[in-house]
Amino acid sequence: MRVVSGIQPTGNLHLGNYLGAIRNWVAMQDALEDGAEALFFLADLHALSQPHDPAVLTAATLEMTAALVACGIDPDRSVLFNQAQVPLHAELQWLLNGTARMGWLGRMTQWKDKAGKNREGQSVALFTYPVLQAADVLLYQATHVPVGEDQKQHLELARDIAQKFNNDFCTEDAPVFTLPEPIIPAEAARIMSLRDGSAKMSKSDPSDMSRINLADDADTMAQKIRKARTDPEPLPSEEAGLAERPEARNLVGIYAALSGESVAGVLRQFGGQGFGSFKPALAELLVETLGPIRARFVELKEDRETLDAILARGAAKARERGAPTLAAAYRALGLVRH
Ligand code: TYM
């Protein structure tokens, strides 16, 4: 078993990242048996697909490293690194560019959403982004990739690329790549914006009130929950009653994910009550869960020396782990290297 996943170091870690992915990273790291390994990385190369400020990227990469460690990623047990220090990712992406098809990339919903009507004006990196993501996981023979729902399509593409490469360039008994399996949490696959129940919680939303950031203090978190958009109805007692109420469903989903209860269980407790009593309970649970993580984060993010050392050590291990697969891919393609 090999667990691999990444996160873009753009802005702060938010509740969607935490509940949708990072909490699962930590759980999988903690459950690994002897011989299995987890690799987690900052997808800083992916950040180049959109306009960015170099100084902000540097700071965000270090901050996100601090956030992951604060959430429970242990650099002594997992390999924690940033892509830019492991050139094998970019190398493998180039090798896979020969296998990935334009049509496959053109169907990616993230590409369609982000490019909108202005496809001609986008960077080439935004279009080929999912090939780099495929390289990220295939390089390490990932078997399990913990992600939120929005990354499922990219993982399916990685499987398609792996399969085509194995078919085209390998014998059946010696495939170069393992097909990765996405691992998506049931209760928190898609945490939505606090301002709009039909949009996912995201770093790129211009309104900070739309998301809970790990760096928010307790008062800010409570205020964001208090101001979260809702409807005037009390909570239903059954899940079916949430069907047409995306904002209510989102808040109940967040409560369920934080408490470890099912949505049905939360509704058994709060059904019939209004948001006036539910929101404070949710805010309290949120502060209780994220408070200790935030405290560790605030302390570690100022410690540049420790963060640099963590990333350097992780990158050295990652280069070692990825080298055999990259060499096998070069060989399979008939590229001469000595
Ligand atoms: P990114 O940086 O947007 O998000 C990191 C992780 O958080 C999850 N996530 C969410 N889950 C639930 N609800 C939300 N509102 C929400 N927002 C984000 C994402 O699904 C993701 O798991 N392309 C990736 C980074 C990446 C990657 C990889 C992931 C690069 N290479 C290889 C896995 C494997 C991204 O931009 O995630």
Q: What are the tens digits of pLDDT across the range 13-25?
A: 999 999 999 999 9
Q: Which atom of ligand 1 is nearest to the CA of 146?
A: 22
Domain co-membership, 77 together with 133: yes
Q: What is the pLDDT of residue 317?
A: 98
Domain co-membership, 133 together with 162: yes
251, with CB counted inside 10 A (0-12, 13-18, 19+), is buried
Domain co-membership, 82 together with 133: yes
Domain co-membership, 39 together with 169: yes
Within a domain: 338: no
Instruction: Report which DSSP code applies to 197.
Output: T
Q: What is the pLDDT of residue 187?
A: 77
Point out the catalytic residue in the list 114, 152, 164, 317. 114
Domain co-membership, 236 together with 109: no
Q: Which atom of ligand 1 is nearest to the CA of 192?
A: 15
Domain co-membership, 58 together with 184: yes
pLDDT band at 9 (very low <50, low <70, confident <90, very high): very high
Which residues share a beta bridge with 192?
A: 200
Q: What is the pLDDT of residue 64?
A: 96
The enclosing domain of 100 has a CATH number of 3.40.50.620
Domain co-membership, 109 together with 184: yes
The enclosing domain of 260 has a CATH number of 1.10.240.10
95: nearest Cα among 260, 322, 258, 338 = 322
Asked if 310 and 40 count as a contact pair (C-beta separation under 8 A), the reply is no
pLDDT tens column, 267-308: 999 999 999 999 999 999 999 999 999 999 999 999 999 999
- Return the best residue to mutate from 25, 81, 105, 147 for the ligand 1 pocket (most ligand atoms within 8 A of CB): 147
Within a domain: 316: yes
Domain co-membership, 33 together with 123: yes
Residue 188 pLDDT greater than 90, yes or no: no
Within a domain: 195: no
Active site residue 114: yes
- The per-residue pLDDT of the chain, averaged, comes to 96
Domain co-membership, 112 together with 173: yes
Domain co-membership, 182 together with 222: no
19: nearest Cα among 299, 279, 237, 286 = 286
Across 188-214, average pLDDT? 93
Within a domain: 39: yes
Within a domain: 201: no
What's the gap in Å between 334 CA and the centre of ligand 1? 34
pLDDT band at 261 (very low <50, low <70, confident <90, very high): very high
Domain co-membership, 177 together with 238: no
Ligand 1 first shell, C-beta below 6 A:
5-8, 16-17, 20-21, 43, 46, 133, 136-137, 145, 147-148, 150-151, 188, 190-191, 200-202
What's the gap in Å between 170 CA and the centre of ligand 1? 31
Is the model more confident about 127 or about 186?
A: 127
Map tokens 């499922």 to a residue. Answer: 152
Across 85-100, average pLDDT? 98
Based on the structure, what is the number of domains in the chain?
2
Q: Determine the Cα–Cα distance for residues 239 and 266; give it in Å rounded to an integer.
A: 10
Within a domain: 203: no
Within a domain: 78: yes
Asked if 144 and 121 count as a contact pair (C-beta separation under 8 A), the reply is no
Q: Which atom of ligand 1 is nearest to the CA of 136?
A: 32
Domain co-membership, 184 together with 274: no
Residue of the nearest CA to atom 33 in ligand 1? 5
Within a domain: 27: yes
Question: 163: domain range?
Answer: 2-189+304-332
Residue of the nearest CA to atom 20 in ligand 1? 148
pLDDT tens column, 93-133: 999 999 999 999 999 999 999 999 999 999 999 999 999 99
Distances (CA, A) of 202 to 29, 112, 190, 247, 308: 25, 17, 10, 15, 27
